[in-house]
Structure 1
Amino acid sequence: MNIALIGATGFVGAAVLQEALNRGHKVTAIVRAPEKLTESPGLTVRKTDVYDTQDLAQALAGHDAVVHAFNPGWGEPQIRSLFIQGSQSIYAAAQQCATKHLLVVGGAGSLFVAPGIQLIDTPQFPAAYKEGAEGARQMLQWLQDKRDLEWSFISPPALLEAGVRSGQFRIGADQLLMNGQAPASISVADLAVAIIDELEAPAHIHQRFTVGY
């Protein structure tokens, strides 16, 4: 499979890049800082501005799938608006080049913890992540009535951590996964497994899903 990966130098993107290359896929890394990546068999690196939809469409052309692991940066004051702007540009670019599948990496904040209550709206949700989580929630809401592109949206569990690749995890839908009375976790390596699994055998077209131990 020929995969375009947006945000390949980030925490999630780097893990997705490694997983995809390890499985023998060809990957075009769409990044702001190409110098952060080293040469690797199957890897093409392209510097592209995600807010430039026309340039991005050219970069995405010819790929079987696009992974959106874009993040403006947790320290960015305008993270919410920039995430939405960049995400909508990615969607429009994928439309223009007739991409078969767009997989968006979102956050846990929009997962439900009770009927009508999402994690982001609970008092325990960390304030430092709220603006970014709100951007991801609004992007999910924007996507949910879109049917002109085959998209999927993955929310990690509440705890996304560095760790080993096990290849073993649960798959959920809109509810926050729990491990007994505590929120479930997953390693970023296993999140990457779930992402590439979805590209290889799509099971959540026009749906959000989550994963966790």
Structure 2
Amino acid sequence: MKSKTIALIFASMMMLCATTSYALKVNIVDGLPYVDVDVNGENIRIQRIQDTNHKLKNSYTRTSRPTPPFYIQPFQPIEGVKTVTELDVIRFIKNEVSENEGVLIDARMPKWYRNGTIPGALNVPFSILYGQKDDPFVEKIFSVFGAEKGEGSWDFSDAQTLLIFDNGPWCQQGVEEMKNLIRLGYPKEKILYYRGGMQFWQILGLTTIKPRAIEE
């Protein structure tokens, strides 16, 4: 009787999952309607907007911006730094960020970040990394990333992998951030670049959040 009850419960759970999957019109990929991630102890569901008539109404609908400065960025702007897709970003949040083994970095200026960002992203504006290795801001940031300061240099052996993004292919804030990090010694093999940025993320209808204000 007990085994029969367990079997019924399991079957009900499977039916519920199947119903949820079929209920969504817009999935991430085939068989994957959403991904639940843990961000600072809070469960956030990443999925796509279900309204198939939905259109963006913000600045990401624009096709053209003054150039300079908004040049189209190369697919791989820095040799040795891997460019990743939306699916890679989702996996990174689910695995590395949730397990505190990686940092998702929004390289944009704070006003952009406050208007909405990718779940789990930490705002490290590219401009604050223009300093030198002994700059107090740089030291604080590198410590957060898991690097250890030694005699006149940084040890990046246990430093976390960084996945960096900005507004999109026309934005150079993320590229500037990566250049600054590499100049300061951060290993290229520990840096990933999401070229699509917020524009591609929102065009695909993926979940965004407005970060909470940090109280000092």
Global fold match (TM > 0.5)? no
Greater strand share, structure number? 1
With normalisation by structure 1, the TM-score equals 0.29
Structure of higher CA gyration radius: 2
- Higher RCO structure (Cα 8 Å, ≥6 apart): 2
